[in-house]
Amino acid sequence: MLTQTLRGLEDDGLVSRTVHREVPRKVEYALTPLGRTFLEPVAALCRWGQDHADDLEQVQANRKMNKRKK
C-alpha cells in the first residue's frame, strides 16, 4: 500500500524518487517544489487538530454515550 501511495504521489509530481545502485538497494523519496507547497496547508490542518483535540474528544465521548442510551 505504501508503494502504491508513493507511486501516486510521484505520478502527481509531489515527490521525486531516487534509486541508489548499491546492495542492498536504497530508494530515497523527497518532496518536489510542488510537493513543498503542500506543507503549509498540511501544517494548518495539524494545528487545527491540536487546537480542537479536546472538542473532538468531547464530541466522540458524547456520541458513545448516546449510542449506549439507545
**For the packed helices 53-69 and 39-51, what is the interaxial angle rounded to 10 degrees?**
60
- Cβ contacts of residue 14 below 8 Å, gap of 6+? 31, 32, 34, 35, 38
Q: What is the mean pLDDT of residues 12-32?
A: 96
Question: In the predicted model, what is the mean pLDDT of residues 47-58?
Answer: 96
Residue 5 clears pLDDT 90, i.e. is over it: yes
Return d(Cα 69, Cα 8) in angstroms, integer.
Answer: 44
Same structural domain, 42 and 28: no
**Residue 25: strand, helix, or coil:** coil
One domain for residues 44 and 19: no
For residues 28 and 51, membership in a common domain is answered with no
Please tell me whether residues 46 and 66 are part of one structural domain: yes
pTM (predicted TM-score): 0.68
* pLDDT at 54 > cutoff 80: yes
Domain extent for 49: 38-70
Mark whether 2 and 27 lie in a shared domain: yes
Total structural domains in the chain? 2
Instruction: Compute the mean pLDDT over every residue in the chain, rounded to the nearest whole number.
Output: 94
Whether residues 7 and 28 share a domain: the answer is yes
Average pLDDT over residues 5-18: 97
Same domain, 31 and 56: no
